[in-house]
Amino acid sequence: MNCPHCGAPVQDGLDVCPACNGRITADNAVGDAQVWCASCGSLVPEGATDCPVCGLPIEGAFDEEADSFDSTNEDAADSPTLESALPPSPEENPDEVSTNNAPAHLRLVVVAVIAALLLVGGSALLITRPWDPNAYMTHATEDADTSMEGFPGTVTHLEGQDIIEGKEREAYLKDADKKMGDFIALLGDLSNECAELERPVEEYLESEELEEGSGRLDRVREMSEQLSVTTAEIESLDLRGSEYKALQGQALVTAQYLKGRVDTLCGVWEALESAEEPSSAIVAVKSAVTNGKDGRSLEEWRMLSDNAYATLVGEEE
């Protein structure tokens, strides 16, 4: 006989199937009117819709769910249908949709371009043309006063030296001659005094021992101020067209060279006064003597001023 559970052949007299270990009893033995599973060959009890072994549905069995579903569909087909009162929407054609959207995109682009132009144009107008209409007006808006009220008259000559003519001019030149003599004598005295103040410096550079003395720095500063005043007074003299004009120019050159010599010497004495140690003092003095005013050494200024003064005295004679 065959096993009612798995359909395997079972020897007569066995209670357990050697294939599936299913229990074999007389009740489930193969009878005359039994149903076999078409999938696994197992014996299926009468009235069962699924195979108890493999779980697959039995062909020809009654399916309650399928029957109920079919009946439901049949009932729905027989029942009357209700139509909507709203008109059906027309089906959209893909070609028509793309055609209708194109103008919308074009309008959007046109509007964006117009807005950008308006923004740029408005900004340029605001920057170049402010709201004040008279901001860039260059012509006069009020009539100018062309009256002669307060007019001082035409200037025919300069004040001061131009009015000195005739006898007044002769008296002025005599006085200028006397002043030039005084200026030449003063320049000679300052040159000699400057040489006296240079002598202790030269001796100090040779022996590194400074000669006793006081007030030298103050005197050199006074000489520098005195030369500035003298130079301004020489320049103020009106010696045009006179024999003293060349003498005036040479006196100015001599005063300027002597001023550079005195200023250099002033720097030397300042270095001596401010030095804290003898070793640093000698270095400072050498530097001041070598690098004087405008980069010229004290020796150069001395030579320039002496030569200029000798020329001045020669022209005076």
Q: How many CB atoms lie within 10 A of CB 32?
A: 4
Q: With 90 as the cut, is the pLDDT of residue 49 above it? A: no
| 201 touches 285 (CB < 8 A) | yes
* Nearest Cα to Cα of residue 217 among 262, 260, 277, 258: 262
Q: Higher pLDDT residue, 5 or 269? A: 269
Whole-model pTM: value is 0.46
CA gap 289, 207 in Å, rounded: 16
Inform me whether the pLDDT recorded for 222 exceeds 80: yes
User: Mean of the pLDDT values across residues 131-138?
Assistant: 63
Compare 16 and 298 and report the one with higher pLDDT: 298
Confidence of residue 68 (pLDDT cuts 50, 70, 90): very low
Which residues are paired to 35 by β-bridges? 44
Q: How confident is the model at residue 303 (pLDDT cuts 50, 70, 90)?
A: very high
pLDDT at 74 over 80: no
The highest-confidence range among 34-48, 125-139, 165-179, by mean pLDDT, is 165-179
Q: Sorting pLDDT into bands at 50, 70 and 90, what band is 135? A: low
- Specify the higher pLDDT residue, 145 or 86: 145
Q: For residue 313, what pLDDT is reported?
A: 86
Alpha helices (H) in the chain, listed in sequence order: 64-78, 94-128, 167-207, 216-236, 245-274, 278-290, 298-316
Q: What is residue 252's predicted lDDT score, i.e. its pLDDT? A: 92
Whether 132 has a pLDDT exceeding 70, the answer reads no
Question: Residue 79 has which token pair?
Answer: 């029942």
Write the pLDDT tens digit of every residue in 79-126: 454 444 455 555 555 555 455 556 778 888 889 999 999 988 888 777
Query: Which of the two residues, 39 and 31, has the higher pLDDT score?
Result: 39
Q: Are 14 and 5 in contact (CB under 8 A)?
A: no
Mean pLDDT of 186-207: 88
The whole-number average pLDDT for the span 220-227 is 91
Residues whose CB is less than 8 angstroms from the CB of residue 57 and which lie 6 or more positions away in sequence, other chains included? 49, 50, 51, 63
Q: What's the whole-number average pLDDT of the chain?
A: 75
- Give me the residue label for tokens 């000559």: 157
Residue 227: the pLDDT is 92
* pLDDT greater at residue 173 or residue 74: 173
Q: How far is CA 73 from CA 11, 67, 83, in A?
A: 51, 10, 19
* Separation between Cα atoms, residue 264 and residue 288, nearest integer Å: 7
pLDDT computed for residue 67 by the predictor: 46
Split at pLDDT 50, 70, 90, the class of 161 is very low
* Residue count of the chain: 317
The encoded tokens of residue 76 equal 């729905």
pLDDT in tens, 233-279: 988 888 877 778 888 889 999 999 999 999 999 988 888 877 777 77
